[in-house]
Structure 1
């Protein structure tokens, strides 16, 4: 058990902070390290969040990372990191295919985990991870930042208010030219557009018109265009049909650039979200396409601070999941992505 699990009083008294460690030292790990440094200097977080350690498979690389971001400790193996009794929360920043074994390693060593999206490569791995969380009492939550951001409540507030009437359809897309990254085209790394970028439009739709509003998916249609050398999805499109007849389209690609827009269409107007991957503004239009108002999203440090704060707060309450991304939500999205891949006939080598 982590030294702080369920011990909010110790932190609130100023006797301790939540020590956050990073497992992995790649690009996204640097973004998290920057976030933790900013949190440590921000009055909202400085009293209880501490950037503590990093682990990589090479000690020199880990030490260079720790020096750059002023971390207390650097470890040349993940096992050494999990053996440190002062680590409270581990952010897992490695490829999807490694998340399950690394999260289990951490939880069985008494460490809470914040696991970068996609949570795992498939639902089977996700269920196994969450079973370990139940067994050990460790927090295990998915780090899909849009679920934790204030923009979620702002978007849902517009829809729930009836300002755009009865919602009947929606669309979301996220496309980046990232096929030059080896992991993106490698089936052994659970590559392809869906798990890396496609998870965002699916989550956007789940929040904006799906489960957050009581709808469930009745059925879907989907297609993809494969990466020629390895067969993972390069482009994909999925049309979701909900139980009340509402329809939504999710598009993602690792070959092109898209507008990253989220669109929710109602009988009295529609809303446009600028950048579903990190919402910048929400524009509300009437039926004459007149801009009624623009809702600005609150200023942020990097956007990662919300998931860190929620995870730290949950572990201090002794919870094994975060309210913003409970296990049921993670499993629902993983099951949907499994079903989409199954329709394509696309399995990763470790699944066969």
Structure 2
């Protein structure tokens, strides 16, 4: 068990902070490192979290990473991280295919975990990871930042207010030309557009529908274009038909650029969210297509701070999951992505 789980009063009395270690030293790890440094310098978060350590398979790379961001500790192996009793929270920043194995190892070592999306490569891995977390007293939560951002609450309030009338349809897309990255096209690393970028429009739709699977999906229609060299999905489109009559379309690609828009359509108006991957602004339109309301989202450090703060507070409160992304939601999204791949006939070599 981590030293601070469920010990908020003790931590506050002694001025103790959640020590965060990053497992992995790739691109996303650098984004998290910048976030932790910014949080440590911000009065809103300075007393909550501390940038503590980084682990990589190469000690020199880890040391250089730590020096760049001023982390006091670096490790040349993941086992060294697991053995450090001062690590309170591990951010797992490795490819999808490694999340379950590394997450389970962290939990067995008594470490709380914040697991980069996609939570795991498939539902079987997700269940194994959640089984390890269940009853452990340790936090296990998925780091899909859009679930934790203030923009989520703004969208929820707009839809609930009746400003656009009754919800009828949703459209969300996220596309980046990233097929040149080796990880993205490698089936052994669960590559393809779906798990990397497609997970965002699916989550956007799920959040608009209230999360928690409250409205069941009755039918799924989907298709994809394979990436010729390796067979992973290069582009895909999915239509979800909900039991309440709402139809939602999710599109993602690792070949194209897109407007990244999230659109929510009602019978009296509609909402347009600019960039579902990190909402920049939200406009509400009436049936006359004139802007009725405009919302700017709060200024942020990097956008990652919300998930880190949620995880840190959950640890201090002794919770095993975050309300923003509970275990059931992570599992349901991975199960949906499994269903899509099954319809496409796409399996990863390790399955």
TM-score by length of 1: 0.98
Please list every run of at least 4 consecutive aligned residues from structure 1 whose deviation after the TM superposition is greater than 4 angstroms: none
- In the aligned structure 2, how far is the partner of 1:15 from the partner of 1:304? 23
Partner residue in 2 for 1:302: 302
Q: CA offset at residue 212 of structure 1?
A: 6.1
* 1:67-146 alignment, distance < 5 Å: 67-146=67-146
Partner residue in 2 for 1:191: 191
What SS is found at the alignment partner of 1:309?
A: helix
Q: CA offset at residue 213 of structure 1?
A: 8.7
Contact 1:188–1:350, Cα closer than 8 Å, also in 2: yes
Partner residue in 1 for 2:287: 287
Listed one character per residue, the Cα deviations across residues 111-131 of structure 1 (whole Å, up to 9, x for unaligned) are 000000000000000000011
Listed one character per residue, the Cα deviations across residues 269-297 of structure 1 (whole Å, up to 9, x for unaligned) are 00000000000111000001001111110
Q: CA offset at residue 135 of structure 1?
A: 4.5
Q: CA offset at residue 209 of structure 1?
A: 2.6
Listed one character per residue, the Cα deviations across residues 227-275 of structure 1 (whole Å, up to 9, x for unaligned) are 0111100000000000011101000000000000000000110000000
Listed one character per residue, the Cα deviations across residues 197-232 of structure 1 (whole Å, up to 9, x for unaligned) are 000000000001353693221111000000011110
Partner residue in 1 for 2:16: 16
Partner residue in 2 for 1:31: 31
Partner residue in 2 for 1:214: 214
Partner residue in 2 for 1:327: 327
TM-score by length of 2: 0.99
Q: CA offset at residue 27 of structure 1?
A: 0.5
Pair 1:273-2:273 in alignment: yes
- In the aligned structure 2, how far is the partner of 1:328 from the partner of 1:59? 37
Ranges in structure 1 where 5+ consecutive residues have no aligned partner: none
Q: CA offset at residue 16 of structure 1?
A: 1.2
What SS is found at the alignment partner of 1:3?
A: coil
- In the aligned structure 2, how far is the partner of 1:193 from the partner of 1:124? 20
- In the aligned structure 2, how far is the partner of 1:14 from the partner of 1:223? 55
Contact 1:170–1:209, Cα closer than 8 Å, also in 2: no
Query: What do you get for the CA RMSD once the two structures are aligned?
Result: 0.9
Ranges in structure 2 where 5+ consecutive residues have no aligned partner: none
What SS is found at the alignment partner of 1:270?
A: strand
Q: For this pair of structures, how many residues does the alignment match?
A: 351
Q: CA offset at residue 12 of structure 1?
A: 1.4
Q: Which moved more, 1:77-86 or 1:12-21?
A: 12-21
Contact 1:22–1:55, Cα closer than 8 Å, also in 2: yes
Partner residue in 2 for 1:342: 342
Contact 1:55–1:77, Cα closer than 8 Å, also in 2: yes
- In the aligned structure 2, how far is the partner of 1:161 from the partner of 1:212? 20
